[in-house]
Chains A and B, each alone.
Chain A
Amino acid sequence: MVEPVDHESVYDSLLGGDDSQWAFGTDFEDPLAGVDTTVPDGVDHHDLAIYCLMLADDALVMSHRLSQWCSNAPDLEEDIALANIALDLLGQSRLLLARAAAANLSVVPAMPHGSPVPPEDALAFFRTDREFLNVRLVEAENGDFGQTMARLLVFSTWRLAIFQRLAASRDTVLAAVAVKGVKEMTYHRDYAGRWFMTLARGTEESRRRVVAGLQAVWPLQAELFETHSVELSVTEAGVGVDPATVSAEVQVLLEQVLSMSDVERPDIGALARVRGENGRDGLHTEAFSLMLAEMQVVARAHPSGSW
């Protein structure tokens, strides 16, 4: 007999009763459950934890900024695309925060006795702005869609180059996170690059906006390639990547998109450090405090809440 087709859900015939598309199951247990989190020989536990926080915070803050587009993007399709990218980055961040906690539990903020908040949530929602180690590029306000695409292009090109090298990390957890992230960010870079080119070669107005957007984020890109002492330490230990080593590759890739878009590379100096510190030292801009307050307010109101 021909099986009856359920015309209400086209997905039933697509999936054929196979529910493996629910890739993450239905619970949110320890994201590193069953994974060997032993720190490799010769690696400083604290440095590894701090390095994981740096990579995690870049993704977490960028993810939150992208999620602010939800219901505000120019089209329903872009709304979903931006939310997908935000979720990819949130997933990277969650694994990296859990890895940081597993490497050195002392980086996790103290919670009330008996609090069910897992370490990765405590790190995301109960650190102050001075304890976040993300680059300042990701914390700036979104601006318009053109500026968001300019930032995403710079960010994903840079982070992809780092993760491609991080896949060879001696730390098997970081290497696995990197391999997963490379596939995700290859799409993010493609998405942002296409939009950058489309806007730059579109109408007079779209070009004006995306060029202005690039100029707005440009002062924040030099910081991406500055090496923090912890990044140097984990690179020498064979578990991390010195961001200075990806500079040449990233500039070539950006130059390709810029030249195809017929846009000049901005000639704008870098945003200065403050008392010798930048994002990797926990020194952030005003926009970040406001963003963080919004991001953390619910979790902080319920420090013993279970989600």
Chain B
Amino acid sequence: MSEEIQAEWPLYEVFVRGKRGLNHVHVGSLHAADDDMAVRHARDVYTRRNEGVSIWVVRSNDVTASSPDEKDPLFDPSGDKVYRHPTFYDIPDNVPHM
């Protein structure tokens, strides 16, 4: 045990995969004392209505995020590059999740 007892458990981000073959989706966050407990808390909090077949958790501190201040240089340049979008193809109706 660490000498210092923290008043609050660390925050975790939770990702759930709904079905085989789909990607994990960020569903929210929760508090837990350690990684194992975070998985179990995620099971109890985010998969109680049969939403998931797989759970990932990661300490929120370990997520490196872009800053809102950088929004213009990071994202605005892609706003007018219509040729980067694959919108000139027809996707058959029986191809799911596109």
Chain A: CB-nearest residue to B44: A81
Q: Contact partner of B22 among A1, A16, A75, A84, CB < 8 A?
A: A16
Given contacts A11-B51, A77-B41, contact A2 B18 (CB under 8 A): no
Q: Does A10 lie within 8 Å of B25, measured CB to CB?
A: yes
Residues of chain B from 62 to 98 with CB closer than 8 A to chain A in the complex: 85, 87, 91, 97-98
Q: Does A14 lie within 8 Å of B16, measured CB to CB?
A: yes
Measured CA separation A202–B31 after assembly (Å): 18
Q: How many A residues have CB within 8 A of the partner chain?
A: 25
Given contacts A23-B49, A80-B44, contact A16 B27 (CB under 8 A): no
Residues of chain B from 1 to 31 with CB closer than 8 A to chain A in the complex: 1, 5, 9, 16-19, 22, 25-28, 30-31
Residues of chain A from 176 to 217 with CB closer than 8 A to chain B in the complex: 191, 194, 198, 202-203
Q: Does A20 lie within 8 Å of B27, measured CB to CB?
A: no
A15 at the interface (CB under 8 A from B): yes
CB distance from B17 to the nearest CB of A (A): 8
Q: Contact partner of A14 among B25, B30, B98, CB < 8 A?
A: B25
Q: Contact partner of B1 among A13, A80, A84, A202, CB < 8 A?
A: A202
A21 at the interface (CB under 8 A from B): yes
Measured CA separation A84–B36 after assembly (Å): 18
CB distance from A193 to the nearest CB of B (A): 12
User: What residues of A have a CB within 8 angstroms of the CB of B31 in the complex?
Assistant: 75-77
CB distance from B86 to the nearest CB of A (A): 9
A22 at the interface (CB under 8 A from B): yes
Q: Does A15 lie within 8 Å of B33, measured CB to CB?
A: no
Across the A-B interface, how many residue pairs have beta carbons closer than 8 Å?
A: 63
Measured CA separation A80–B87 after assembly (Å): 44
Q: Contact partner of B26 among A2, A10, A15, CB < 8 A?
A: A10
User: What residues of B have a CB within 8 angstroms of the CB of A77 in the complex?
Assistant: 30-32, 41, 44-45
Q: Contact partner of A10 among B27, B30, B32, CB < 8 A?
A: B27
Given contacts A2-B98, A11-B27, A75-B31, contact A21 B19 (CB under 8 A): no
- A214-236 vs B: 1/0 string, CB under 8 Å? 00000000000000000000000
Measured CA separation A202–B49 after assembly (Å): 32
Chain A: CB-nearest residue to B50: A21
User: What residues of B have a CB within 8 angstroms of the CB of A18 in the complex?
Assistant: 19
Measured CA separation A214–B71 after assembly (Å): 56
Q: Does B97 lie within 8 Å of A203, measured CB to CB?
A: no
Q: Does A84 lie within 8 Å of B44, measured CB to CB?
A: yes
CB distance from B65 to the nearest CB of A (A): 17
Q: Does B18 lie within 8 Å of A15, measured CB to CB?
A: yes
Given contacts A10-B27, A11-B27, contact A203 B40 (CB under 8 A): no
CB distance from A83 to the nearest CB of B (A): 9
User: What residues of B have a CB within 8 angstroms of the CB of A80 in the complex?
Assistant: 44-45, 48
Chain A: CB-nearest residue to B40: A191
Measured CA separation A23–B51 after assembly (Å): 11
Chain B: CB-nearest residue to A14: B18
User: What residues of B have a CB within 8 angstroms of the CB of A16 in the complex?
Assistant: 18-19, 22, 97
- B40-62 vs A: 1/0 string, CB under 8 Å? 11001100111110000000000
Q: Name 18 A/B residue pairs within 8 A (Cβ), A-sorted.
A: A1-B87, A1-B91, A2-B85, A2-B98, A13-B18, A14-B18, A14-B22, A14-B27, A14-B51, A16-B19, A18-B19, A21-B49, A22-B50, A77-B30, A81-B41, A84-B44, A194-B37, A202-B1
Residues of chain A whose beta carbon lies under 8 Å from any beta carbon of chain B? 1-3, 10-11, 13-16, 18, 20-23, 75-77, 80-81, 84, 191, 194, 198, 202-203
